[in-house]
């Protein structure tokens, strides 16, 4: 069973025609840009390289359209990002056929009551101007009070919890896969025991876990466990503390101010071997580890750079990057959301109170 599951997410690699010859002091090498994809436990393919859409709503229509035209085929969005309308318009504007795009969105915590789940999905589909999404994720395991307020708080400003559980929500999501409106379902920001509960109490193993992974938060054991269950990992914030959000948000930890991942000299050194930037090395590390990465950018040259980030890294370079693990988790709204997130995972020291909404 485990063996089959692990097999199901093996990467298929298709070569693109871009090869760059890099000359060093005593040697030269050819670096080929790949277009890796993985097979989910549903049988569907998911690209290794994708595009995040959190923030900059005014730019998203244009950038989603351009990113697709440039070759991105995986778009990640969420109800709570307030960009689904722009993403939908961007997809249309790109002219790329819908069936060639892997489009995923996320259900937000105020819509977790089982009676709200399908209506919430319909809202997303309407705004995304699509009859289906390739992936629907539960954004966090915590349930907020149902109703239109996405961040329902009591008079003291504390988040009000809902009275259903993530298992109830998951069972409602399972039903959606039979409607044709959702091709696969998965989770985000869950810990190991929460995923074990889902597996035990339902008949669907999540196709994807979208979680924070980068060289400063590698979570080797958890990643191996997910792989053994056939759950494909999509890395959010793949560039670590690159996003200023982590320095500015109320629940940012002190560690968000540490040296940016991409400024680590090791990455620069490795990059020289391949004629690649530290950003490209970081993204390639995720892909060479069997995961998808969804960097967000609204800047053309950065999108171009990210698109050239799928190349083979030698094992000695993967080993070097492994030494950067600092168990530094930047995305941790546990105290604001009134839910101890990531309870059995690495990087939960130093969680601070604070709010974004
Ligand atoms: N499931 C969740 O709870 C969750 C949480 C966080 C994020 N996400 C998803 O993951 C996506 C990515 O995460 P993220 O935005 O936090 O972090 P990220 O993609 O690791 O970093 C984004 C930052 O890196 C910059 N950047 C991107 N490519 C670059 C390049 N080639 N060179 C230099 N800078 C570059 C961007 O600049 P510009 O903005 O100036 O272009 C932005 O400031 C999000 O957009 C969202 O879709 C999901």
Beta carbon of 52 within 6 Å of any ligand 1 atom: yes
**In this structure, which residue's CA is closest to atom 8 in ligand 1?**
236
Sorting pLDDT into bands at 50, 70 and 90, what band is 248? confident
Which positions ≥6 away from 344 have C-beta within 8 Å?
191, 192, 193
DSSP character for 111?
G
Any known ligand binding at 209? no
Domain boundaries, the chain: 38-323
- Rounded percentage of the chain residues whose pLDDT exceeds 90: 85
User: What pLDDT score does 2 carry?
Assistant: 34
β-strand partners of 206:
none
Q: Which atom of ligand 1 is nearest to the CA of 280?
A: 31
Distance in Å, CA 86 to ligand 1 centroid: 17
The residue that leads in pLDDT, 16 or 110, is 110
Mean pLDDT of the chain: 93
What is the side-by-side order of every strand in the sheet holding 28-39? Answer: 11-23, 28-39, 45-47
Of 235, 239, 240, 336, which is best to mutate to test ligand 1, by the most ligand atoms within 8 angstroms of its C-beta? 239
Q: Output the pTM of the full model.
A: 0.95
**In this structure, which residue's CA is closest to atom 34 in ligand 1?**
302
User: What pLDDT score does 19 carry?
Assistant: 65
Beta carbon of 239 within 6 Å of any ligand 1 atom: yes
| β pairing state of 185-188 and 208-212 | parallel
Question: Please, what is the Cα angle at 243 between 238 and 244, to 5 degrees?
Answer: 160
Domain 38-323, CATH class in plain words: alpha beta
Interval 284-334: pLDDT, tens? 999 999 999 999 999 999 999 999 999 999 999 999 999 999 999 999 999
Interval 2-21: pLDDT, tens? 333 433 444 555 545 456 67
In this prediction, residues 204-225 reach a mean pLDDT of 98
- Give the catalytic positions in this structure: 81
pLDDT at residue 27 is higher than 70: no
Instruction: Return the closest-CA partner of residue 91 out of 127, 122, 58.
Output: 127
Query: What does the block give as tokens for 15?
Result: 């070569």
């Amino acid at each position: 069973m485990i063996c089959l599951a692990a097999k199901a997410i093996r990467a298929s690699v298709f070569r693109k025609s871009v090869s760059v010859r890099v000359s060093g002091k005593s040697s030269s090498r050819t670096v080929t840009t790949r277009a890796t994809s993985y097979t989910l436990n549903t049988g569907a393919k998911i690209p290794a390289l994708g595009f995040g859409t959190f923030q900059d709503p005014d730019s998203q229509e244009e950038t989603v359209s351009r990113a697709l035209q440039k070759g991105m085929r995986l778009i990640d969005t969420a109800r709570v990002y307030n960009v689904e309308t722009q993403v939908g318009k961007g997809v249309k504007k790109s002219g790329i056929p819908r069936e060639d795009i892997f489009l995923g969105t996320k259900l937000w915590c105020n819509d977790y009551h089982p009676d709200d789940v399908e209506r919430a999905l319909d809202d997303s589909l309407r705004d995304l101007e699509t009859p289906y999404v390739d992936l629907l994720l539960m954004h966090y395991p915590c349930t907020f009070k149902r109703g239109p307020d996405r961040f329902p708080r009591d008079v003291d400003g504390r988040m009000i919890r809902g009275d259903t559980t993530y298992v109830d929500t998951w069972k409602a999501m399972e039903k959606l896969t039979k409607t044709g409106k959702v091709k696969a379902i998965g989770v985000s920001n869950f810990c190991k025991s929460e995923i074990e509960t889902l597996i035990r109490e339902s008949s669907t193993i999540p196709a994807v876990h979208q979680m924070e992974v980068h060289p400063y938060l590698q979570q080797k054991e958890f990643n191996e466990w997910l792989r053994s269950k056939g759950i494909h990992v999509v890395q959010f914030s793949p560039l670590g503390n690159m996003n200023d959000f982590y320095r500015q948000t109320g629940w940012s930890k002190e560690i968000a101010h540490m040296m940016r991942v991409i400024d680590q000299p090791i990455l620069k050194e490795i990059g020289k071997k391949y004629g690649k930037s530290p950003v490209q090395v970081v993204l390639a590390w995720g892909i060479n580890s069997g995961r998808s990465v969804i960097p967000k950018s609204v800047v053309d040259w950065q999108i171009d750079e990210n698109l050239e980030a799928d190349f083979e890294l030698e094992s000695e370079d993967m080993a070097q990057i492994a030494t950067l693990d600092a168990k530094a988790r930047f995305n941790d709204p546990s105290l604001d959301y009134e839910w101890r997130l990531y309870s059995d995972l690495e990087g939960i020291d130093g969680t601070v109170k604070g709010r974004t909404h």
